[in-house]
Amino acid sequence: MFNIFKKKTNSNTSIEIDYNNIPKHIAIIMDGNGRWAKKKNLPRTFGHKAGVETIRKIIKECNRLGIKYLTLYAFSTENWKRPKDEVNALMTLLVEYLKKEFDELNKNGVVINYIGDISKLPKTCQEELIKAKRNTINNKGVVMNLALNYGGRAEIINALNSLISDIKDKNSKNITISEKDFEKYLYTSGMPDPDIIIRPSGEQRLSNFLLWQCAYSEFWYSDILWPDFSEADLHQAIYDYQNRDRRFGGI
Q: What is the DSSP string of 62-127?
A: HHHHT-SEEEEEEEETTGGGS-HHHHHHHHHHHHHHHHHHHHHHHHTTPEEEEES-GGGS-HHHHH
Q: Does 222 bind ligand IPE (CB under 6 A)?
A: no
Active site annotation includes 79: yes
Is 64 known as a binding-site position? no
76 binds, among ligand IPE, Mg ion, none (CB under 5 to 8 A by kind): ligand IPE
Q: Does 233 bind Mg ion (CB under 5 A)?
A: no
- Buried/exposed 117-127: b ≥16 CB within 10 Å, e otherwise: bbeebeeebbe
Q: Does 61 bind Mg ion (CB under 5 A)?
A: no
**Other beta carbons within 10 Å of 153:** 11
Q: What are phi and psi of 141, to 5 degrees?
A: -90, -155
Active site annotation includes 181: no
Closest distance between ligand IPE and the C-beta of residue 89, in Å?
10
Q: Which stretch binds ligand IPE (CB under 6 A): 14-22, 24-32, 161-169, 185-193?
A: 24-32
> What would the x/- binding string for ligand IPE be over residues 75 to 94, using CB under 6 A?
xx--x----------x----
Q: Does 226 bind Mg ion (CB under 5 A)?
A: no
- Residue of this chain nearest to ligand IPE (CB atom): 34
Q: In terms of residues, how long is the chain?
A: 251
Q: Which stretch binds Mg ion (CB under 5 A): 30-38, 46-54, 126-134, 233-241?
A: 30-38
Among the listed residues 21, 79, 106, 139, the single catalytic one is: 79
3 state DSSP class of 143: strand
The smaller minimum CB distance to Mg ion, of residues 158 and 208, is found at 208
**Touching ligand IPE, residues 121-160 (CB under 6 A):** none
CA distances from 33 to 39, 48, 51, 124 (A): 10, 5, 6, 24
Q: Does 116 bind ligand IPE (CB under 6 A)?
A: no
Is 48 known as a binding-site position? yes
Q: How many helices (H) and strands (E) does the chain have?
A: 7, 8
- Catalytically active residues, by annotation: 31, 79
> Binding site residues for Mg(2+), as ranges?
31, 218
